[in-house]
A and B are shown apart, each in its own frame.
Chain A
Amino acid sequence: DTAVSQTPKYLVTQMGNDKSIKCEQNLGHDTMYWYKQDSKKFLKIMFSYNNKELIINETVPNRFSPKSPDKAHLNLHINSLELGDSAVYFCASSLGSRRNTIYFGEGSWLTVV
């Protein structure tokens, strides 16, 4: 069973479109994250939710809106996609947010053309 699963794995879309990436974890964790990895492989946290509450919101354009319907799900919706949004987006989860291991999904490759 996949611990952190995200869909779609690959997404190619045109500028200006709106798209969503879904994430689910079956580990019983209470904290979920979205990370962005750019073409240089730099990894930056975007959002973190604990028990459905937003606890970390980095400097991310408000075109990006996370939604956590329950502890096991954290979706990412992106409005008005731009070329610079092309990246790999990783969903992740952990039990708590300090000492415990962060478990990553396999990533969603977003290409904006």
Chain B
Amino acid sequence: AQSVTQPDIHITVSEGASLELRCNYSYGATPYLFWYVQSPGQGLQLLLKYFSGDTLVQGIKGFEAEFKRSQSSFNLRKPSVHWSDAAEYFCAVVDSYAGKSTFGDGTTLTVKP
């Protein structure tokens, strides 16, 4: 069965600092990987996704993520964090056969002024 681990429950960074949110997955075949962001009181919004090809993918709001098969990781990065990036971030893996999505437990990002 597929699984997703986000090791960091809560991360605090200063505005303007760089950010990396970790995501590790477990899946037998080539995974379909996603990062979503959830602002307070809102639903989830897609930041970026990876299916195949270039392992560095660009997303919205200046985010990028790198797929590393050898490490079973899909970490999310941003070079300079803005106060509006404070939110909950979810990594997800989708079963390429059945289409079932599994979400990580989320990482709460706090941005200090």
Contact = CB atoms under 8 A, between A and B. Distances in A.
- List the 5 shortest-distance A-B pairs measured between CB atoms, nearest first: A97-B99, A104-B43, A43-B103, A104-B44, A101-B46
B84 interface: no
A110 to B, nearest CB: 15
Interface in B75-113: 88, 90, 94-96, 98-103, 105-106, 108
Interface string A85-113: 00000101000111101111111000000
Interface of A: 4, 31, 33, 40-45, 48, 50, 55-56, 90, 92, 96-99, 101-107
- Secondary structure at the B interface, as helix, strand, loop or mixed, is strand
Given A41-B38, A99-B49, 13 more contacts: A4-B43, A33-B101, A41-B106, A90-B43, A97-B101, A98-B99, A102-B34, A102-B44, A104-B36, A105-B43, A106-B42, A106-B43, A107-B43
Interface residues of B, number: 26
A55 B100 CA distance: 9
B32 interface: yes
A4 B99 CA distance: 20
